[in-house]
Structure 1
Amino acid sequence: MDLVKSLFISASGLKAQNGRIRVIAENLANADSTGRTPDEDPYRRKIPTFKNRFDRDLQAELVELGKLAEDRSEFPTRYEPGHPAADANGNVRVPNVNSLVETVDMREAQRSYEANLNVIESTRRMLQRTIDILRG
């Protein structure tokens, strides 16, 4: 039964990392989304969090995507006097999304996803070998 448990644990990791990748993709998609007026805030970067959940049927801890936190760092400004969201000095507040940070986070999430996928594949092979031995 431990092999089945490892499948469920890895599947929860896949789902959590998938959610993380979606949040990162949203951040990257909105990296240039400014406000429409000088008083309106631009897009604020979202930060995915994780939480543990105990599954009574499996008697195991599973991981899942938690609440999304907002990055409370300051918005950078860019000088664009013709922009509708420019203030009196011609500065526009832009999202606090750093594409390099998001790309690194995406790569880390991808590696975690692949690691969980490898566990599932290894477990599947072990289960198949066990079935083959029992048949033989």
Structure 2
Amino acid sequence: MSVDDLTRTMMISAAGMRAQSVRMRVIAENMANAETVGMKPGDEPYRRKVVTFASELDKATGAAEVKVKAVTEDQSPFGSRFDPGHPAADGDGYVKTPNVNTLVEVSDMRQAQRTYEANLNVIDSARGMLMRTIDLLRS
């Protein structure tokens, strides 16, 4: 493995860390807004956001890196709860609730954290190999 290979490896892993960082931010936003409902009848509650990724060729390194393709709104239906005293309640007393499932968000957050950590471990390993190579060249 050459120094260029190790550098490319670190750049690919850094791209993965950036992508997972965006994903964790979006998941945190979803969790923070899991109870955010409208203020008057007909208002929509918070709509869950989802991150999609794409592979993109980095012309400088010649390697495929993960990039955030888009942050979109999840179009799954809203929930509802009976709360006739709420200002956003409809004529039947139901309030639309966000389409955020906190259990799904926690699971997604754990997966994003593990992927981030795996990429960090790759960078640490590549850096260690690079440092050992430099030490060998100095001797």
Task: Please indicate the TM-score interval, normalised by the length of the shorter structure.
Answer: over 0.9
**Mapping of residues 50-89 of structure 1, within 5 Å:** 50-89=53-92
Q: Does 1:49 align with 2:35?
A: no
Aligned-partner Cα distance in 1 for 2:76–2:65: 31
Q: Match for 1:96 among 99, 121, 127?
A: 99
Cα distance in structure 2, aligned partners of 1:74 and 1:124: 46
Superposition deviation, residue 130 in structure 1: 0.3
How far off is 1:2 after superposition? 0.5
- The 3-state SS of whatever aligns with 1:130 is helix
Q: What is the aligned-residue RMSD (CA, Å)?
A: 0.6
| TM superposition shift of 1:3 | 0.4
Letter in 2 for 1:4: T
Q: Which protein is richer in strand relative to its size? A: 2
Return the offset for 1:38: 1.3
TM-score normalised to structure 1 length = 0.98
Stretches of 4+ aligned residues off by more than 2 angstroms: none
Unaligned runs of 5+ in 2: none
Deviations 1:66-121 (A, max 9, x none): 11121111111011111000011111000000000000000000000000000000
What is the aligned counterpart of 2:35 among 25, 32, 36? 32
Q: Which amino acid aligns with 1:26?
A: E
Tell me which of 102, 124, 128 is aligned to 1:125.
128
Secondary structure, counterpart of 1:81 in structure 2: coil
CA distance in 2, matches of 1:31, 1:122: 38
Q: Distance in 2 between matches of 1:37 and 1:61?
A: 47
| Unaligned ranges ≥5, structure 1 | none
